[in-house]
Structure 1
Amino acid sequence: MVSLASKPSIPITTGSKPLLKTTMSGTIRKAQDADLDDDLEVPNPKRARVSFNPKVEEKVLEEYVAKGRSLESIRVEVKRAIEAHGKGDSEKYDSIKEVFAQTEGDEREDTGSNDEAKTYLLALTGYASLLNKDCNGLVKPILKCDWMGREEGFVKAYAQFLGNLVSAQGAYVGLVLGTLVDNFTGGMLPLLSLPSSANLDTVRVSSGRLPGCPDVSRDTLSSRVHFALRYLLRLVPSASATLSPILSTKFPFADESKRVHVTYINNLVRLLEYAPELKSDVFALITDRLVKIDVQMQVDLDDVDDEVAGAIVQGLAMNPADQEEEDDDDADDSDDSDAESINSDDESGDQAKRAKEIQESVEKMDAILDRLFAIYDPYFTDPNSIEAANMFETLLGHFANIILPTYRSRHTQFLLFHFAQKSEHLIDQFAGTCVQLAFQPGRPAVLRQSSAAYLASFVARGAHVEPQVVRTVFELIGSNLDHIRTENELTCRGPDLKKYGTFYAMTQALLYIFCFRWRDLIDSSEVFDDEDPTAFIGQDLVWTTGIKETLSRAIYSKLNPLKICSPPIVSEFAKIAHHLRFMYVYPLLETNKRIRLSQFSSAVGNGALRDSGNGASNDSWHQLDAYFPFDPYQLPVSKKWIEDDYVQWQGIPGLNKDESDDDSSGDEEEDEEDENAPEDDDTATDEEAED
């Protein structure tokens, strides 16, 4: 466990090996190695749902005949057909294939075809050992047949056939498991989303309305898939090793609908009930795909103009998309109307289409996260339990290996934000992990900087983060800043993001924490009322020992962090620090306006000084982004999970009055700084204060 009490030099142990793996260890056992025939004897009553007795099935099937022939005669036919096929005579073999072939528009209402298929299926079960790779042409039609929508006896016979097949012919394990997992989406996948090389037959899902069979509900269809999977995994435990990469391969494409994604995830979670050994892989897979959707959604939102973005926001507000996915079994295509709240009649066709696609993406992200919050929540009913500790370790592994290395993940990380605040020791553990990742020597600079941003954002925004944690984190970062500064200040020629990126990221983290949690950094016994505009005016507050000195040394060092840190954050810090009599940095900001960062950048000209000419160089390329991972959460449905955990931006009483006084006296530093600041940053700005 990593906590704030741990020394930063200790390597992080969380996620010591990647959770995302293309394969799992293990091999498929052969039938003779596993004594699988014994597994098919009379089952224990407690396992009756996943075990079969062939003698019982035969007795039942004796009541049926296929075209006036007994089961025994069909067995003889099947064996001879397979043997003849091996010798090049496939006439009888092909006729058996036709029994299981799917026929479009087949309206046969009698039960004869169902009985015939079931009889041949049981006959083939007895000769599964003969179905080698040369019989692939027969096995595939059997796997593709509409088995889930048939009567229960057929479903059991089908599962038993699959069990015998994978036990006797290990080469079919992947094909069988993949065919079952194809049904995890709960319906036909949109063809437009498939690659041109895709086999359309592999995405066909069994119907619950088959001629000659009673209607079967969607829930029952899903249960039958898991019934077969559970049976196979108990019969061949090593099949889990093959199943793990299949789950990854079959995961819906990013542009699939909300319904498809949520249904697939629900089935993955249901799978874990009887295959707990896959828990680590499954949750890592979900997180990995969710992060990809998250990032692409942000890219799409950044690419559209303000009018389209406004329409999307308005559409989300009008349509919270909080309906249950399972409300209507017949509504397979209901996602087509998920984003109809954007009125395409009032916009150009392309613009409306683009807006609708983005809104669907946002709603999909929202629905998936809402489902994940609900999936993880029971594990933290008792945050002090071993169950909670184990699951939080899993989440920390996802954070270190998946979320943190992903550039600009926007919402996925709120799973950590929410569940870390379930208890003080989980807060300490997450903050400690961020400290370790930020300070650990040898880690890539970009990951250390990102870790500092996560740490600052969590401490600043976490409503349940206690003041003592805020002070501890502030002191830890400050101590590290002092170390970096003393190592580099003598040789430093000026501000350089490429060279001292970690130093600037940590300084910006402190500025951000100060803007949000300055009240927790006061070491005064006197309590001030935020609602009283005069409470802080003219007061010399007593601050926690060392924080003012640490920040002052960093800010006024040769590394000059206020020139590199994001202008909106620097501006906000300058206003608050001045108002609270903590620090007055406006003269330095004025001086920094005359510095061109390209003069010192080691990214250009190997760090040589350059003539800045007319100042055409854009300093924003040499400054930090105002990226803090726990900035306001905007997804309308899943937002409910973090509302009580979140610190909104609060204006400081009396600060606006001070700004007006400064303007009237001719102090224009802030106005000039705002002119140079990016307009699209939403970190700790007035925009949040309006909420």
Structure 2
Amino acid sequence: MVSLVPIARPAAPRAAPKPSKPLLRRATLSGTIRKTEEAELDSDFLSAPPSPSKRARVSFNPNVEEKIMEEYQAKGRSLESIRLEVKSSIEAHLKGDSEGYDAIKEVFSPRRADDEDDESKGDGKVEMQTYLLALTSYASLLNKGCSGLVKAVLACDWMGRDESFVKAYVHFLGSLTSAQGAYVGMVLGMLVGNFYGVRLSSGRLPGCPDINRDQLSSRIHVALKYLLRLIPSASSTLSPILAAKFPYAEEPKKLQITYIENLIRLSEYAPELKSDILAVITDRLVKIDVQMQIDLDDLDDEVAAAIVQAISLNPSREKDEGDDSDTDADSVTSDDDVDSDSKRIKEVQGNVEKMDAIIDRLFTIYSPYFEDPFSVEAASMFETLLGHFTNIILPTYRSRHTQFLLFHFAQTAEHLVDRFAGTCVQLAFQSGRPAVLKQSAAAYLASFVARGAHVPSHVVCQVFSLIGNNLDHIRAENEVTCRGPDLKRYSTFYAMTQALLYIFCFRWRDLISSSDISEEDDPAAFVGQDLTWTPGIKETLSRTIYSKLNPLKICSPPIVAEFAKIARHLRFMYVYPLLESNKRIRLSQFSSSQGNGALRDTGNGGNSESWHQLDAYFPFDPYQLPLSRHWVEKDYVQWKGVPGLNQEESDEDESGEEEEEEDEVDLDDETDNDE
């Protein structure tokens, strides 16, 4: 039997990591440099600035070719001369004389048109690099009083210059942040600001070789990797920056995806940030998910379905973004060319595409960890997903698709099925939690058990039994003082009962204890048969349904109607007399409060009773996003009609018998629309 109570599993001992090659090397000889192969810029080529408290130890290696560093000159002036100028200008600025200081700032200002000749000859580039080297030497002087100069250096065009300049620039960033911790956030913010995407023009500077977008992006990550290795504490500063700079939900899809791709690339060389990065992506995804669902709900069903179908027919509408393009924004049709309705539909379609692309990317990111669902990596990543579920997804009522990350990966192995179901049980039953969160956890539990194709039968029975036992406790504690159905007072009881009704409708076959009847051989084999149910199932539901708390009056009418119909057909239970008597009950006379904050059905504004009833909220309703739905198609239990039930209803109609139920519902009608 699988235990549904979450049990902390001890982590497998990890092998001791092998010593890695030092990323940051000190120079082996003052005034010399190592000869390196011409290669793409990488952090291995960057040596750490010398520690202010230690002198570099001199060593000679006969296998290393050494050569004297070429002397930098800017407009006939030596590096040493410019160092003296920089030092004296900074010191004078701090005393109130900023003439020389402002001249240095001007060196890093964007090039003017009349400066392009100097730039193309290399004079401007050499001058900027020489001043950069000089500033690196005196980074300890660049306190808060020099923030203007620091901002000018951070704003300069550096990514598209030659490799030697980029190395010098990254060295400057390292020296600055090491000597002046107050600038760490500013420097990291500048680098992360390029996660939205770099313009091609940044790699086409006068006098410099052309650099493509991939190379420009790589240089951003080389600089970040270098700083994080140099200053390990910078990770704690970087994490809130990543969240703060995350694109707003209304930003274009391409910008969102580009930012996420850069975050994932960052997590590869900064594993200490991986959990925070995945959490912030999930948090933003939920916000987009909620907004998308609100937009779809505001449209007519036919229009919403047409939008999804249009995306299905053209799953990839990405324009060809070659290196000739210098913009990251999609073209937007003029307001004059399109009426407001068409514009609204276009916006909704863009949001659906955005959501679809982001969650598809997340499925792709998580998938390698679950290739072996019994591995330590899978266990660790699943715990991360559970944390996101508990803290981000569960409290968000209108989340529609983000939770399918859990739905899919929880079904990769039975112990993960048990882990997710156990977490939902714990959240639903735990005392002290807000009632609305307990109701939501019950909905997730019911929806997962009902819809999960890889949830085994014995887990279905265990969950049914666990919920039933809990209902018995709640009923015993409250039935004596109960005046009647009241969603405010007994919200957890009603949410749990609705969970059982929903599970029964989908998984009643798994609740049959033993039977020689084969539905595969004869689809109508269950008709007219007295079935043997799992012990306690019928008794528990009977005590619950016929208690003074009267859950069938509070639970969502479509769920109640479907349960009543199936239960009668299977000779499990006959509740129609109770439904008839419930029609004469007005919930408002028992309600403790109008604003109960429960998950309730508010769809019918003209029916006050709906305010006192639960919403038919089950988070794993049919998946709608066309691009990413392939991830969950094999995990999903589609609604199956009960054999012989439709024929029974037809016979009743032909004989003129009165229809006994008030509502009929197909619990999977959304799937029918999507197929």
Give TM-score, length-normalised by structure 2: 0.87
Q: Which residue of 2 aligns with 1:264?
A: 259
Task: Give 1:292 deviation, angstroms.
Answer: 1.1
Number of residues of Structure 1 aligned to a counterpart in Structure 2 = 627
Q: Which residue of 2 aligns with 1:150?
A: 161
SS for the counterpart of 1:418 is helix
Stretch deviating more after TM superposition (665-674 or 463-472): 665-674
Q: Which residue of 1 aligns with 2:330?
A: 336
* Maintained 8 Å contact 1:648/1:688: no
**Distance verdict in 2 for CA 1:333–1:580, change over 3 Å:** farther
Instruction: Select the residue among 102, 125, 138 that pairs with 2:149.
Output: 138
* Maintained 8 Å contact 2:87/2:138: yes
SS for the counterpart of 1:394 is helix
Q: Percent identity?
A: 69
Task: Give 1:358 deviation, angstroms.
Answer: 1.2
Partner amino acid, structure 1, of 2:347: E
SS for the counterpart of 1:320 is coil
2-structure distance, mates of 1:567, 1:84: 80
Task: Give 1:689 deviation, angstroms.
Answer: 8.4
* Maintained 8 Å contact 1:288/1:402: yes
2-structure distance, mates of 1:76, 1:492: 87
Residue 370 (structure 1) aligned with residue 356 (structure 2): no
* Maintained 8 Å contact 2:198/2:216: no
Q: Where in structure 2 are the equivalents of 1:78-477 lying within 5 Å? A: 78-103=86-111, 107-108=116-117, 109-187=120-198, 207-306=202-301, 308-321=303-316, 328-331=322-325, 333=327, 336=330, 349-477=339-467
* Maintained 8 Å contact 1:383/1:422: yes
Partner amino acid, structure 2, of 1:260: L
**Distance verdict in 2 for CA 1:668–1:76, change over 3 Å:** farther
How well do the aligned residues superpose, as a CA RMSD in angstroms?
3.0
Which ranges of structure 1 fall in alignment gaps of 5 or more residues?
Answer: 15-37, 189-204, 607-614
Partner amino acid, structure 1, of 2:231: V
Deviations 1:395-440 (A, max 9, x none): 1111111111111211111111111111111110000000001111
**Distance verdict in 2 for CA 1:375–1:50, change over 3 Å:** farther
Deviations 1:529-567 (A, max 9, x none): 257343121111111111111111111111111111111
* Maintained 8 Å contact 1:62/1:70: no
Q: Where in structure 2 are the equivalents of 1:601-620 lying within 5 Å? A: 601-604=591-594, 618-620=608-610
Task: Give 1:385 deviation, angstroms.
Answer: 0.9
Stretch deviating more after TM superposition (158-167 or 288-297): 288-297
Deviations 1:371-391 (A, max 9, x none): 111111111121111111111
2-structure distance, mates of 1:289, 1:466: 33
Task: Give 1:487 deviation, angstroms.
Answer: 1.3
* Maintained 8 Å contact 1:627/1:683: no
**Distance verdict in 2 for CA 1:290–1:509, change over 3 Å:** same
Task: Give 1:326 deviation, angstroms.
Answer: 8.6
Q: Which residue of 2 aligns with 1:486?
A: 476
Which ranges of structure 2 fall in alignment gaps of 5 or more residues?
Answer: 11-23, 37-41, 51-55, 57-63, 597-604
Residue 596 (structure 1) aligned with residue 586 (structure 2): yes
* Maintained 8 Å contact 1:563/1:623: yes
* Maintained 8 Å contact 1:457/1:629: yes
Partner amino acid, structure 1, of 2:193: D
Stretch deviating more after TM superposition (652-661 or 159-168): 652-661
SS for the counterpart of 1:374 is helix
Task: Give 1:688 deviation, angstroms.
Answer: 3.4
2-structure distance, mates of 1:641, 1:686: 18
Deviations 1:585-608 (A, max 9, x none): 2222222222221121111599xx
SS for the counterpart of 1:653 is coil
SS for the counterpart of 1:584 is coil
Task: Give 1:582 deviation, angstroms.
Answer: 1.3
1-structure distance, mates of 2:326, 2:485: 58
Q: Which residue of 2 aligns with 1:48?
A: 44
* Maintained 8 Å contact 1:531/1:653: no
Residue 631 (structure 1) aligned with residue 625 (structure 2): no
1-structure distance, mates of 2:289, 2:595: 37
Q: Which residue of 2 aligns with 1:517?
A: 507
SS for the counterpart of 1:336 is coil
* Maintained 8 Å contact 1:571/1:670: no
Task: Give 1:166 deviation, angstroms.
Answer: 0.6
Instruction: Select the residue among 628, 642, 647 that pairs with 2:632.
Output: 642
Stretch deviating more after TM superposition (527-536 or 356-365): 527-536
SS for the counterpart of 2:121 is coil
Deviations 1:124-154 (A, max 9, x none): 1001111111111111010011111111111
Task: Give 1:303 deviation, angstroms.
Answer: 2.1
Deviations 1:504-547 (A, max 9, x none): 11111111111111111111231422573431211111111111
Task: Give 1:308 deviation, angstroms.
Answer: 4.0
Q: Where in structure 2 are the equivalents of 1:533-572 lying within 5 Å? A: 533-572=523-562
Runs of 4+ in 1 over 6 A off after TM superposition: 43-47, 53-56, 58-61
**Distance verdict in 2 for CA 1:206–1:348, change over 3 Å:** closer
* Maintained 8 Å contact 1:316/1:636: yes
* Maintained 8 Å contact 2:485/2:553: yes
* Maintained 8 Å contact 1:52/1:156: no
Partner amino acid, structure 2, of 1:376: Y
Q: Which residue of 2 aligns with 1:22?
A: none
Partner amino acid, structure 1, of 2:322: D
Partner amino acid, structure 2, of 1:414: F
1-structure distance, mates of 2:595, 2:168: 74
Give TM-score, length-normalised by structure 1: 0.85
2-structure distance, mates of 1:665, 1:112: 98
Q: Which residue of 1 aligns with 2:651?
A: 661
2-structure distance, mates of 1:344, 1:309: 22
Instruction: Select the residue among 78, 95, 101 that pairs with 1:70.
Output: 78
SS for the counterpart of 1:523 is strand
**Distance verdict in 2 for CA 1:206–1:331, change over 3 Å:** closer
Task: Give 1:96 deviation, angstroms.
Answer: 1.1
**Distance verdict in 2 for CA 1:88–1:206, change over 3 Å:** farther
Task: Give 1:232 deviation, angstroms.
Answer: 0.8
